Structure 1
């Protein structure tokens, strides 16, 4: 995923590693794509070695130099290949820890189970707020023009959170009845 997102950033314009990292952080990629900031520099090295990107220029700022990378024609083709692979990669992510806990909840003290489920619910509400903040930041950066494909990704993220919230509420309701 990191390689794909680095290539995507460079397909917009040539950038330094720091600029790529900043753009991906602005887009909240660690949350939705699992891209860690440190992995960007590793991806840059690999992509350059593989010929998918190259150094467009070296900029000097005092005693520091920074490489500005640009995507190559083979990098553009590789980006398309990676994007198509992602579109065809059907995965369903189940909250397996939550499922396991729910399946054993009737063996736990009622109040403790409800307390932990309530804490989980609070975490999900914080996650929802973080996604909302990310959406607002994206809207601001794009002057309110969220592309339709980006909007459906955000909508899906909200649906996933809401689905887990409903599961937790239903589980709490069942536990309270016992």
Structure 2
């Protein structure tokens, strides 16, 4: 599979990590047969943990469950260094299920509010102004780190795809950057309010 075929898909983590991992595994297998190790490598390359809440360790559980339900099947098994290397392929039933999962992901409401931040801001009168500033400055630093991480991922994707990034993938990254900047602006406004 080439990087050109990798598209970013964003999900509300609350929709369920199991949902996301099943969707991504089926999507990868719809492109080509792969081993669990290959799938793991692709998901790490896609940074699926960051944007999809995917726990990389859950891949093998998902593979077993998808196989049990007839969505994928074992197409090859060879002895590797320490254990068998199993290659999986998607079935016709899996292709139909993949379409259902994609449709469901597009219809699922996925707006997330920073509820703990909102609660903290609403109740911050219980803290000293120094504590509030320290906490919010820490939040800004974490947002800067997140922005740099997403930027690094964007640059790696552009490089891997020879700057031929699909328009939908660019939109996803643009939205991620906008969300981070909006959160930064919000915290800066809170800090300004504290000064008045």
Q: How does 1:93-172 map to 2 (within 5 A)?
A: 93-172=112-191
Q: Is the 8 A contact 1:106 1:175 kept in 2?
A: no
Q: 1:32 aligns with which of 51, 58, 61?
A: 51
Give TM-score, length-normalised by structure 1.
0.96
Structure 2 residues not aligned, in runs of 5+: 1-19
Give TM-score, length-normalised by structure 2.
0.87
Cα distance per residue 1:86-119 (max 9 Å; x no partner): 0001121000011011112233211110110000
Structure 1 residues not aligned, in runs of 5+: none
Instruction: Report the Cα distance in structure 1 between the residues aligned to 2:90 and 2:159, rounded to whole angstroms.
Output: 27
> Residue 91 of structure 1 aligns with which residue?
110
Q: Which moved more, 1:139-148 or 1:153-162?
A: 139-148
Q: 1:45 aligns with which of 27, 47, 64?
A: 64
Q: Which moved more, 1:13-22 or 1:140-149?
A: 140-149
Instruction: Report the Cα distance in structure 2 between the residues aligned to 1:63 and 1:162, rounded to whole angstroms.
Output: 46
> Residue 7 of structure 1 aligns with which residue?
26
Q: Which moved more, 1:60-69 or 1:88-97?
A: 60-69
Q: Which moved more, 1:103-112 or 1:15-24?
A: 103-112
Q: Is the 8 A contact 1:110 1:176 kept in 2?
A: no
> Residue 35 of structure 2 aligns with which residue?
16
Q: Is the 8 A contact 1:59 1:66 kept in 2?
A: yes
Instruction: Report the Cα distance in structure 2 between the residues aligned to 1:139 and 1:36, rounded to whole angstroms.
Output: 25
Task: Give the secondary-structure state (helix, strand or coil) at the position aligned to 2:94.
Answer: helix
Superposition RMSD on alpha carbons, in Å? 1.1
How far does residue 63 in structure 1 lie from its aligned partner after superposition? 5.1
How many equivalent residue pairs? 177
